[in-house]
Amino acid sequence: MKRGFRRSRRDSGQGWVLSGLSLQVWSLLASPAVAQTPGPITIARNPSCPSCRITLVEEVVLGGRDTSLIDHPESVWRDSRGRYFVLQPNKEEMPIVFDRGGRFLRRIGRKGDGPGEFRFAAHGTVDAADSIFIVDWVGRASVFSPDFKYVRSFPFPQGVRSMVVLRNGDLLANALVSDRQTIGLPFHLFRRDGNRYAAAGDRSRPYIHTENYRLAHRVTPAAAGGFWSVPRIGDYHLEYWNALGKREAHFRSSPDWFVELPPDIGLRDPFKLDPPVSMIEAIWEDRSGLVWVVTRVADPKRHLARQDTVRTPEGKAVVPSDLDRTSDSIIEVIDPRTHRVMAWHRFDEYLHFAVGGGRVANVRTRPDGFVTIRIMNVSLVR
């Protein structure tokens, strides 16, 4: 097979593009945990473990006046050594690293356009050896060693919304890549040198350029070698894609608390609808094969929250002063093998990120303008 992209056959509305890859090797990585399915399976909503409880326990707090956390982060993650990484692209801050106890360690890189430098460091992740990958919104990915030494850079899509390292060490990015063959496909796979070899997505879902928010997904590596995905905004479709970029499992969940995007949304701003649409904030697979999903939902008392007027590039905007007063979070645990929800719980706070190792983060802006990030361990207590 020649290198470069070519359009592949379609299968049940799925689309994927593949090049420069041994199908025999990749087929060995397909997940044994879920059976191949032609269409969405409805997740049973009555919990299979009604006595189970989901608990949050605070572990550490990042930030404060001496750490330059001055904006809502775009990306927060944790490596195997317990170090936390925080990126704030809107303020053009350099990546910040904290130790496992929440103490400020250092910044990575410096401002600029050269090797090891950043303009808008936005998304990051680590591999199994704690090598650090950071994507700049200018269209470049940079790699650093576990001891923060610059290794290399390579071109990367500008429209990256999230990025993870798969079990085989390759990179998966949720991004808008505007070429003729893959536009409208949300998932793009790269080798570690930045060579994109595959793109995947459901071609039965039409691409509408005024609705690019529909391409935003939460993604997480699957233990069997592929990845799980779920749309970010108002659409609860949980899907498993194998390492070939082919969808092998497709689940549909319709809880009564989930507010979907209206089918006639047109040119309306999905972020300004009332009631607010539900938004998936985090997803991960645990060691037992259960999939955890964190959803942002509207707080029933949101209309009582104080509103602030702020200046934006588009003009003035009214925003809530405390997102914890306008949003709740629902965490649920799904068993994809039985197609059932094991347990779920509603929390009276906004959980913004999954940071690795069964941990979530709550971001708060203090009255002095500085930001703190509460890291909490999530557990399923039987």
Q: Which two tokens stand for residue 138?
A: 């200018």
Cα gap 332→329, rounded to integer Å:
10
Among 67-71, 113-117, 240-244, the least confident range: 67-71
Ramachandran angles phi, psi of 111, nearest 5°: -75, 135
Confidence of residue 226 (pLDDT cuts 50, 70, 90): very high
Nearest CA-CA partner of 308 in 296, 286, 288, 323: 323
Query: Hey, where are the domains in the chain?
Result: 15-64+157-381
115 three-state secondary structure = coil
Report for 123-137, 311-325, 355-369: range of highest mean pLDDT: 123-137
pLDDT at 378 over 50: yes
CB atoms within 10 A of CB 151: 13
Angle at 30 between CA 24 and CA 35, to 5 degrees: 130
Q: What is the pLDDT of residue 369?
A: 76
pLDDT at 227 over 50: yes
Mean pLDDT within 73-99: 95
Q: What is the pLDDT of residue 316?
A: 60
Cα gap 119→153, rounded to integer Å:
14
Pick 35 or 104 by higher pLDDT: 104
**Do 104 and 93 touch, CB atoms closer than 8 A?**
no
Whether the upstream peptide bond of residue 275 has omega within 30° of 0, thus cis, is yes
As separate numbers, helices (DSSP H) first and strands (DSSP E) second, the chain gives 2, 30
